[in-house]
């Protein structure tokens, strides 16, 4: 017991351990996650519909979607992909969550939208080329280790037409400044999110201030099974993300407010990045 708890509370080196796939593909967690994606009153897994609509509105105004070839990386249940398709884009949605994709496919069928949903790991699998727009939304970029971010920048660049754009969002250092280190535990932590039946869930938050990195680390102790989940997050300033994207071989970077596409006002909110190859 002492060894398990002490190891859990220890501070790992940033991004030294990854459990991303487990977070998104464990059958119980995937079902709970889908519930949160679709909960229009929660921002836990996806943004609320009004913000998604506003994002797609300015994107369409600036970079008309009709007839455009678009790929959405980490499309989840298709909240963005379906909106792009409604506006006439030819959309491919990629995700490694079979559960989210099953929902996305059903929703597309009932809305009579033709969307190519594919189960893929965007870090490992081949990605479609010739895209006019590639999106990756809700901080997925921030959750990756530096080498994985470098890889995805290169893979997306190879997906884009010369006039295409990569649009993604990142969490700001203003958001990092609002975090605090704490450790909590509770029976069925987060109302049964982590496992079916009884369990005790522990959560500890580590902040790496010099690097603007946060870690929410979970230890889930269920009868007969104990597992951990590491939720890393790199926070950015406009300057730090611009430097990283330019170092990844892109020719220009624009920072805009996620919901309006206008100037980002700063503070404790995410912002969108428009990168050109």
Ligand X SMILES: C[S@@+](CC[C@H](N)C(=O)[O-])C[C@H]1O[C@@H](n2cnc3c(N)ncnc32)[C@H](O)[C@@H]1O
Closest separation in Å from C-beta 126 to ligand X? 12
Closest separation in Å from C-beta 266 to ligand X? 23
Q: Which of residues 20 and 172 has its CB atom nearest to ligand X in the complex?
A: 20
Contacts of 165 (CB under 8 A, 6+ apart): 63, 132, 133, 134, 274, 275, 276
User: Footprint of ligand X on this chain (CB under 6 A)?
Assistant: 20, 24, 37, 45-46, 74-76, 79, 94-97, 100, 121-123, 137-138, 140
**Radius of gyration over alpha carbons of the chain, in Å?**
19
Residue 236 is given by DSSP the state B
- 10 Å CB burial of residue 145 (0-12, 13-18, 19+) is middle
Name which of 118, 78, 80 is nearest 96 in CA terms.
118
Q: Which of residues 52 and 212 has its CB atom nearest to ligand X in the complex?
A: 52
Tokens of residue 226, six digits: 């104990």
Closest separation in Å from C-beta 129 to ligand X? 17
Please report the beta strands in the chain, taking only residues with DSSP state E, as ranges in sequence order: 69-73, 90-95, 115-119, 131-136, 160-170, 183-187, 200-208, 213-222, 225-234, 252-257, 271-276
Q: Which of residues 15 and 138 has its CB atom nearest to ligand X in the complex?
A: 138
Q: Which of residues 83 and 203 has its CB atom nearest to ligand X in the complex?
A: 83
Report d(CA 171, CA 270) in Å as an integer: 4
Q: Which of residues 22 and 209 has its CB atom nearest to ligand X in the complex?
A: 22
Q: Which of residues 155 and 188 has its CB atom nearest to ligand X in the complex?
A: 155
With beta carbons less than 8 A apart as the criterion, state whether 108 and 83 touch: no
Report d(CA 20, CA 274) in Å as an integer: 25
Q: Which of residues 89 and 123 has its CB atom nearest to ligand X in the complex?
A: 123
Closest separation in Å from C-beta 170 to ligand X? 13
Closest separation in Å from C-beta 184 to ligand X? 22
Closest separation in Å from C-beta 119 to ligand X? 8
Closest separation in Å from C-beta 200 to ligand X? 26
Identify the helix (H) or strand (E) that includes residue 30: helix 27-38
CB-closest chain residue to ligand X: 74
CA dist 43 to 30, 47, 83, Å? 16, 5, 18
């Amino acid at each position: 017991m002492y060894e398990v708890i002490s190891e859990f509370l220890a501070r790992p080196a940033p991004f030294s351990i990854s459990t991303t796939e487990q977070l998104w593909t464990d059958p119980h967690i995937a079902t709970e996650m889908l519930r949160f994606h679709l909960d229009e009153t929660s921002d836990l897994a996806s943004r609320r519909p009004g913000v998604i609509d506003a994002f797609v509105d300015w994107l369409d105004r600036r970079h008309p979607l009709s007839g455009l070839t678009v790929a959405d990386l980490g499309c989840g249940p298709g909240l963005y992909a379906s909106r792009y398709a409604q506006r006439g884009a030819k959309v491919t949605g990629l995700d490694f969550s079979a559960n989210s994709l099953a929902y996305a496919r059903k929703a597309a069928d009932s809305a009579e939208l033709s969307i190519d949903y594919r189960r893929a790991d965007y870090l490992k699998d081949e990605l479609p080329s010739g895209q006019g727009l590639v999106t990756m939304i809700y901080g997925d970029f921030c959750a990756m280790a530096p080498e994985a971010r470098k890889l995805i920048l290169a893979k997306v660049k190879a997906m884009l037409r010369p006039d295409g754009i990569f649009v993604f969002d990142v969490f700001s250092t203003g958001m990092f400044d609002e975090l605090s280190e704490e450790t909590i535990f509770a029976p069925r932590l987060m109302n049964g999110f982590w496992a079916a039946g009884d369990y005790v869930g522990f959560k500890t938050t580590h902040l790496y201030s010099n690097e603007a990195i946060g870690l929410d680390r979970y230890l889930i102790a269920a009868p007969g099974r104990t597992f951990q989940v590491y939720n890393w997050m790199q926070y950015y300033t406009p300057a730090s993300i611009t430097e990283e994207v330019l170092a990844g071989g892109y020719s220009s970077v624009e920072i805009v407010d996620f919901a309006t596409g206008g100037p980002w006002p700063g503070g404790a909110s995410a912002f969108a990045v428009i990168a050109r190859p």
